[in-house]
Chains A and B, each alone.
Chain A
Amino acid sequence: MTANVKDKAAIVGIANTEFSKNSGRSELQLAAEAVAGALEDAGLKPSDVDGMTTFTMDNTDEIELARAVGIGDLSFYSRVPHGGGAATGLIHQAAMAVASGMAETIVCYRSLNGRSGHRYSSGVSGNLLTADAIHWGWYMPYGLVTPASWVAMYTQRYMHLTNCTHDSLFEVAHTMREYAATNPAALFYDQRFDRAEYDAQKKIVDPFRLYDCCLESDGASAVIITTTERAKDLRQPGVVVKGVGQAAAANMESMTSFYRDEIAAIPSMDIAASKAYEQSGLTPDDIDAAVIYDAFTPIVLWQLESWGFCKHGEAHDFVMDGALRPGGRLPTNTHGGQLSEAYIHGVNGIVEAARLVRKTSVNQPDKEVNHVLVTSGVGVPTGGALLGSMDTL
């Protein structure tokens, strides 16, 4: 069965706060600023909003935020679990709500003081007896406690089985940094590095050095999603949701699915991709640019394979051809990604994907961009969305 969401919903407003190491204000305030910015961008009033969706990990309560921004009655609210795996889950929720008529105008938001507040890199410690804590209990006593270490376990296996080397990891990190260097909003604006500097960084976990790992940052991002009908009358050109998939593949653990036959793969994203392609009727050849979740460099490679831009195990060759660069086959993370713009759990990526469709990215590729892919974090249940211009209706 194919979900009936194609062309039903469109992103009509987008906004980020500034990104920083210390925002100096509450996550609620950051969220309110991003949401107000996205409404302003769309030319909508707070009272036009009747739905909200965010991450289960977000600390900002929907109704607190609604009250802060002056949003009135809500008839739809939902949250998506699994950290960065929730990013395009927000589009998934909003598109379903709009397509079914449960709500007309949805705010999707994510706000975090990820550097000055709780830092994910500090790892898990598990003081409460929850199912989640018991899960981490299989890893904590051995010291396998950080996101980098969990992703490293898949990466070592992937590098063992394919021709992936540090060359392609560097290529991903360097491409993102070059985009950030020309993006004034990026935390690494105007700060380039070369291979020698990349190799000289401290080891985090084998095979990652510092520049293989994303930033930790403060900030918020928001997008407004409404019906494509309504999008036609609004301030900005709409960005149409062509298809959106979400999946937790069999035998899943959060970040530690080490018990599948092979772990050098991300089957959840394979499923999400096939669902999004099926809904949209698009194929990889139709996709002109991408925003691919990049908490760590190798996860970009695996997602390129999941979305069919190259065969499984061949992403090394694909990126070494310069595919992700400005003139390449698939310009990717033109904002600098989470490796170099900011880590807002992938929602700053949705903002950039919408900009690419609007043709307003600070690093807008020269070529015609009609369809853009945006994805969520992997290692957890995940997803991705295919976006297109109003011309594609």
Chain B
Amino acid sequence: MNPEETKEFEQKIHAFVGRENGPPKKGKDAVNEPMIRQWAEVMGDESPVYTDKETAKNTTKGGIIAPPSMLQAWSMEGYPMAGSPAVDVQRSLHNVFDENGFTGVLGTNTSTEFFRDLKPGDEVTYHTVIESISEQKSTARGIGYFIETVTQFTDQNGERVGKQVFRVLKFIPADAPAEASSVADDSPAVPTRIAAPRGHDNGWWWEAADKGKVLIQRCKSCQTLRHPPRPMCGECQSVEWDSIESTLDGEIFSFTVLHYPKVPGYDYPLCCAVISLAEGTRIVANVVGIDTEEVKIGMKVKGKVEQVDEKTMLPQFYPVAGGQ
């Protein structure tokens, strides 16, 4: 974007500041005990003031109250919204960003103030306004703008019960494929594996993996191979290097099978192994295509780079038939 385009773009987005996201809207349900109980159960909050009428009556609250942090829950749109998000002013603003390359979105922080406790029977109305859009910022994620929205929550008498400030960053992803897994999108996505951050010394390796190749860094001066990549040769201190492509013929040097905790995006039991490659370097990768109980140190394996989920290309190693 040249300076004039930037100016035009900023005028467009700043026109959204002060606009309400939509008219004040009443929550789908009045504050009620079943939802309070379910919330308290899910959050593991055992305070009786949320669930036990008799005990709650004798506290300073004088009866059951809703957990304050549940405030936003009374305004949620429910499941249908996950499939087809509401087309509101905020969505239109995001569309302007998207059209100009600011496709990344990251919820950066939220703060909530509570003015009074909500009790069963209270009806919550919420009203969101686009409060501000920052100057252009250079962030670790990429160039972008912070959008701050403020939601006021009121009760059936129009009295304020709470206020929530929500800040998101809309940005041009510095490195789209690598960033993708940790960036919240509007549509619910199947969790993917944790991506390797890509920097100057390792990005080239992962870019090759994206294209189906496993490379091994080689010193141009003394030909020593090294993995994981690093900028200087430890043998001769040369910073000149190229790489060779591995045949992915290997042998299991050690391995473990992970059972717990289960991280979203991975299938368990999950076998990770240190594999000695025929070229002489080692690599950590998954061993697949075999019952994890059958994996042994010394087993011969053959790797190929595969797409393991929507966003991730990784070398995966299979046992070689008769290769014990």
> Which of A122, A135, A142, A263 meets B254, CB within 8 Å?
A263
Do residues A129 and B199 form an inter-chain contact, with CB atoms below 8 A? Answer: yes
A residues 134-151 in Cβ contact with B at 8 Å: 134-146, 149
Q: Choose the segment among A197-205, A236-244, A351-359 that binds chain B (4+ C-beta atoms closer than 8 Å).
A: A197-205
Do residues B254 and A134 form an inter-chain contact, with CB atoms below 8 A? Answer: no
In Å, the complex CA distance between A152 and B292 comes to: 15
Any A CB within 8 A of the CB of B30: no
Which residues does chain B contribute within 8 Å of A154, judged by CB atoms?
254
> Which of A121, A134, A139, A145 meets B201, CB within 8 Å?
A134
Do residues B261 and A122 form an inter-chain contact, with CB atoms below 8 A? Answer: yes
Do residues B261 and A146 form an inter-chain contact, with CB atoms below 8 A? Answer: yes
Tell me which of A123, A139, A156 has the highest count of chain B C-beta atoms within 10 A of its own C-beta: A156
The A-B contact count (CB < 8 A) is: 114
Any B CB within 8 A of the CB of A193: no
Do residues A153 and B197 form an inter-chain contact, with CB atoms below 8 A? Answer: no
Tell me which of B199, B228, B282 has the highest count of chain A C-beta atoms within 10 A of its own C-beta: B228
Do residues B196 and A141 form an inter-chain contact, with CB atoms below 8 A? Answer: yes
In the complex, which residue of chain B has the Cβ closest to the Cβ of A250? B234
In the complex, which residue of chain B has the Cβ closest to the Cβ of A161? B297
> Which of B255, B286, B314 meets A153, CB within 8 Å?
B255
In the complex, which residue of chain B has the Cβ closest to the Cβ of A155? B256
Any B CB within 8 A of the CB of A1: no
A residues 145-183 in Cβ contact with B at 8 Å: 145-146, 149, 152-157, 160
Binary interface encoding of chain B residues 264-293 relative to chain A, with 1 for a CB under 8 A from any of its CBs, else 0: 001000101010000001101110000000
Any B CB within 8 A of the CB of A393: no
> Which of A137, A204, A205 meets B196, CB within 8 Å?
A137
Which residues does chain A contribute within 8 Å of B261, judged by CB atoms?
121-123, 146
In Å, the complex CA distance between A121 and B261 comes to: 8
Any A CB within 8 A of the CB of B257: yes
In the complex, which residue of chain A has the Cβ closest to the Cβ of B181? A141
Do residues B255 and A205 form an inter-chain contact, with CB atoms below 8 A? Answer: no
Any B CB within 8 A of the CB of A125: yes
Do residues B199 and A134 form an inter-chain contact, with CB atoms below 8 A? Answer: yes
Do residues B194 and A126 form an inter-chain contact, with CB atoms below 8 A? Answer: yes
Which residues does chain A contribute within 8 Å of B193, judged by CB atoms?
140-143
**B256–chain A nearest beta-carbon distance, Å:** 4
Do residues A143 and B270 form an inter-chain contact, with CB atoms below 8 A? Answer: yes
Tally of contact residues, A, Cβ under 8 A: 39
Binary interface encoding of chain A residues 204-240 relative to chain B, with 1 for a CB under 8 A from any of its CBs, else 0: 1110000000000000000000000000000000000
Any A CB within 8 A of the CB of B86: no
Binary interface encoding of chain B residues 190-221 relative to chain A, with 1 for a CB under 8 A from any of its CBs, else 0: 00011111110110001000000000000000
Do residues A134 and B194 form an inter-chain contact, with CB atoms below 8 A? Answer: no
Which residues does chain A contribute within 8 Å of B272, judged by CB atoms?
139, 142-144, 149, 153
Any B CB within 8 A of the CB of A133: yes
Which residues does chain B contribute within 8 Å of A136, judged by CB atoms?
196
**B316–chain A nearest beta-carbon distance, Å:** 9
Any B CB within 8 A of the CB of A127: yes
Which residues does chain A contribute within 8 Å of B284, judged by CB atoms?
138-139, 142, 144, 256, 258
Any A CB within 8 A of the CB of B260: yes
Any A CB within 8 A of the CB of B57: no
Which residues does chain B contribute within 8 Å of A141, judged by CB atoms?
193-196, 312, 314
A133-B197 in contact given A127-B182, A138-B284, A156-B297 (Cβ < 8 Å)? yes
Do residues B263 and A123 form an inter-chain contact, with CB atoms below 8 A? Answer: yes
Do residues B202 and A137 form an inter-chain contact, with CB atoms below 8 A? Answer: yes
> Which of A133, A137, A138, A202 meets B260, CB within 8 Å?
A202
Which residues does chain B contribute within 8 Å of A205, judged by CB atoms?
256-260
In the complex, which residue of chain B has the Cβ closest to the Cβ of A204? B260
A129-B140 in contact given A144-B284, A153-B274 (Cβ < 8 Å)? yes
In Å, the complex CA distance between A121 and B197 comes to: 21
**B105–chain A nearest beta-carbon distance, Å:** 15
In Å, the complex CA distance between A205 and B268 comes to: 11
Any A CB within 8 A of the CB of B166: no
In the complex, which residue of chain B has the Cβ closest to the Cβ of A150? B256
Any A CB within 8 A of the CB of B253: yes
Do residues B255 and A138 form an inter-chain contact, with CB atoms below 8 A? Answer: no
Do residues A125 and B274 form an inter-chain contact, with CB atoms below 8 A? Answer: no
Any B CB within 8 A of the CB of A128: yes
Do residues B196 and A258 form an inter-chain contact, with CB atoms below 8 A? Answer: no
Tell me which of B206, B256, B266 has the highest count of chain A C-beta atoms within 10 A of its own C-beta: B256
Which residues does chain A contribute within 8 Å of B201, judged by CB atoms?
134
Tell me which of B140, B259, B314 has the highest count of chain A C-beta atoms within 10 A of its own C-beta: B259
In Å, the complex CA distance between A290 and B196 comes to: 40
Do residues B297 and A203 form an inter-chain contact, with CB atoms below 8 A? Answer: no
Do residues A156 and B254 form an inter-chain contact, with CB atoms below 8 A? Answer: yes
Which residues does chain B contribute within 8 Å of A263, judged by CB atoms?
253-254, 274
Tell me which of B206, B257, B258, B274 has the highest count of chain A C-beta atoms within 10 A of its own C-beta: B258
In Å, the complex CA distance between A122 and B261 comes to: 7
A149-B286 in contact given A134-B201, A141-B195, A143-B266 (Cβ < 8 Å)? no
In the complex, which residue of chain B has the Cβ closest to the Cβ of A121? B261
In Å, the complex CA distance between A160 and B273 comes to: 14
Which residues does chain A contribute within 8 Å of B206, judged by CB atoms?
137
Which residues does chain B contribute within 8 Å of A202, judged by CB atoms?
259-260
In Å, the complex CA distance between A154 and B201 comes to: 27
> Which of B140, B281, B297 meets A157, CB within 8 Å?
B297
In the complex, 17 of the A-B residue pairs with CB atoms within 8 angstroms, ordered by the A residue number, are A123-B263, A126-B197, A127-B182, A133-B197, A134-B196, A137-B196, A137-B206, A139-B272, A140-B193, A143-B270, A153-B272, A156-B256, A156-B297, A206-B256, A258-B253, A263-B253, A263-B274
The 9 A-B residue pairs with the shortest CB-CB distance in the complex, in nearest-first order: A137-B196, A152-B256, A157-B254, A140-B194, A203-B259, A144-B272, A206-B257, A143-B266, A258-B274
Which residues of chain A have a CB within 8 Å of any CB of chain B? 121-123, 125-129, 133-146, 149, 152-157, 160, 202-206, 256, 258-259, 263
Which residues of chain B have a CB within 8 Å of any CB of chain A? 140, 182, 193-199, 201-202, 206, 227-228, 253-261, 263, 266, 270, 272, 274, 281-282, 284-286, 297, 312, 314
